[in-house]
A = this chain, B = another copy of it.
Amino acid sequence: MLGALRFIGYKFQAQYKGINMKKNAVILLSGGLDSTTILAIAKDAGYDPYVLSFSYGQRHDIELEKAKEIAKDSGAKEHKIANIDLRLFGGSALTDKIDVPKHNNVDEIDSEIPITYVPARNTIFLSFALAYAETIEAFDIFIGVNALDYSGYPDCREEYIKSFEDMSNLALAACVDANINNRKKMHIHTPLIDMTKAEIIKKGLELGVDYSKTLSCYDPDTNGNPCKKCDSCLLRQKGFNENGMVDPCF
C-alpha cells in the first residue's frame, strides 16, 4: 500500500512539474537490476531521464557496457559516464584484489557490513549527480538503494538519504532561494528503499523491464556471465524465484 502511494506520488509530482517547470531527472544507473528498475519507474512517472554511470575501478567493467545498452534502449535524453578511480583509496572487494565472498544460498549471507562495501560510494555518486542535476536544471535524482536486502551498507538507509537531501539543498546555487523560503527544492528519490527484491522485480516486470540485459553480479566472467554464488547473485535469484521465475541471466 505504502509502495503504491509512493508511485502515485512520483507520478503526481512529475505531472505537476510538467505544467510549471522542467521535469528532467538524473538517474544513477549501474546496469544492475535495481538501477534498471528505477530508470523504468522514473520514465513511467513522466520524467525525462538523464542517466549517469560511473567507471570507478570496479572489477566488473562489463556492467558499464550493460548500462550503455539499457540507457540507449530506454530512450534516455543523455547518458554520461564519469571516470572516478576509487581504487585510489582502496578498502573494498569491489575495487581491490580482495576475494568477493561466495555462498551456496542466501541464508549464508552475513548480516555484518560486507567486504563489498566501498567507502563513501553512494555519497560520491550522489555528489556527482548533484553537479549533473544543477547543469541540466533538474531537481530530482533517482537512486536504486535498498535498505532491506543490503541492510549492511550504511549509505543505503533512509536516514542517510534524507540527510544527503538536506545537505544538497544547502550545497547548490540552484537551491539557495529554496532555502531562504525554508522549502526543499532538490529531491533524492529512492523508490526501492523499502521493497524486497521480489517486489522490485515484480514492479519492473509490470513496467516492461528486460532483466536479461542487466548484470548484478559482483564477480562476473569476462563475457558478463554471473558467478551465481555472490550475495548479489543469490539475492537476485531468490527474488526471481519468489515471482515464480528463473533469473533470465542464469
Contact = CB atoms under 8 A, between A and B. Distances in A.
Contacts of A173: 113, 117, 119, 154
A163 B170 contact: yes
Q: A155, A168, A171, A173: which has the most chain B beta carbons within 10 Å?
A: A171
Interface stretch (A13-21, A129-137, A235-243): A129-137
Contacts of A113: 173, 176
B82 A88 contact: yes
Nearest to A118: B131
A123 B86 contact: no
A83 interface: yes
A89 B124 contact: no
B166 A163 contact: yes
A175 interface: yes
A86 B135 CA distance: 11
Interface in A114-154: 117-124, 126-128, 130-132, 134-135, 154
Contacts of A122: 171
A157 B170 contact: yes
Contact of A124 (B124, B163, B164): B124
A176 B155 CA distance: 10
Count of identical protomers in the assembly: 2
Contact of A171 (B84, B123, B131, B175): B123
B91 A119 contact: no
A160 interface: yes
B170 A167 contact: no
Contacts of A6: none
Interface of A: 80, 82-86, 88-91, 113, 117-124, 126-128, 130-132, 134-135, 154-155, 157, 159-160, 163-164, 166-168, 170-173, 175-176
Given A89-B132, A120-B172, 13 more contacts: A80-B89, A82-B88, A83-B83, A89-B131, A89-B135, A90-B135, A91-B135, A113-B173, A120-B127, A160-B167, A160-B171, A163-B167, A166-B166
18 contacts: A80-B89, A83-B83, A90-B135, A113-B173, A119-B135, A120-B130, A123-B131, A124-B124, A126-B127, A154-B170, A155-B172, A159-B170, A160-B170, A160-B171, A163-B163, A163-B171, A164-B167, A166-B166
